[in-house]
Amino acid sequence: MNLNPIRVIHNDDELAMALAEYETYFDANPEPGTAAADRFELLGLVIAAYEDQRWPVASSEPLEVIMMVMEARGYTQSDLASVLGSRSRASEILSGRRGLSLDQVRNLARHWRLPVASLIGTAKAA
């Protein structure tokens, strides 16, 4: 397979071509540490950069992000509690009575594969 170099995406046509190649890796995930895995990661980065520039998303508060993710993925309060380690803590966070601690941000980001930045809000810590 003759692969073109990965370049910065400048328009929606280039985005479509990058997405088409990126999606080919979904059926056969490349082995980590290989050139194919590096190419897959680079494509993801340039696609994300273009989409962020083309269609910027307003920042949300962590509770909004958690609620959107839970709804989109069909997660329950029990799922959140299993990541946070406590049903009462999950309840306090979902009711807005308590913010996320740094450890909770790290756990949610890792287990739910979310960007850490999406879990850091602008409000003062509780």
**102: CATH:** 1.10.260.40
Domain span including residue 19: 12-54
Q: Is residue 67 part of a domain?
A: yes
When divided into structural domains, the chain yields a total of: 2
What is the rounded distance in angstroms from the CA atom of residue 126 to the CA atom of residue 98?
Answer: 6
In a domain, 7, yes or no: no
- Same-domain status, 67 and 38: no
Q: Do residue 38 and residue 75 come from a single domain?
A: no
pLDDT tens column, 49-91: 988 888 776 667 899 999 999 999 999 999 999 999 999 999 9
In a domain, 125, yes or no: no
Please provide the size of the chain in residues.
Answer: 126
Q: Are residues 17 and 42 in the same domain?
A: yes
pTM over 0.75: no
**CA-to-CA distance for 66 and 75, rounded, in angstroms?**
10
Residues 69, 115 share a domain? yes
d(CA 22, CA 16): 10
Does one domain contain both 84 and 113?
Answer: yes
* Assigned token pair, 56: 């910027």
Task: State the DSSP string of 45-105.
Answer: HHHHHHHHHHS------HHHHHHHHHHHHT--HHHHHHHHT-HHHHHHHHTTSS---HHHH
Same domain, 89 and 40: no
- Could you report the per-residue pLDDT of 15-34, keeping only the tens digit for each? 999 999 999 988 888 999 99
Dump pLDDT digits (tens) for 29-57. Answer: 899 999 999 999 999 999 989 888 887 76
* pLDDT, tens digit, 9 for 90 and up, residues 100-125: 999 999 999 999 988 888 888 654 44
Specify whether 68 is located in the same domain as 93: yes
- Judgement on whether residues 114 and 68 belong to the same structural domain of the protein: yes
Q: Where are the beta strands (DSSP E) in the chain?
A: none
User: Burial letters for 16-51: b for 16+ Cβ neighbours within 10 Å, e otherwise?
Assistant: eebeeebeebeeeeeeeeeebeebbeebeebbeebe
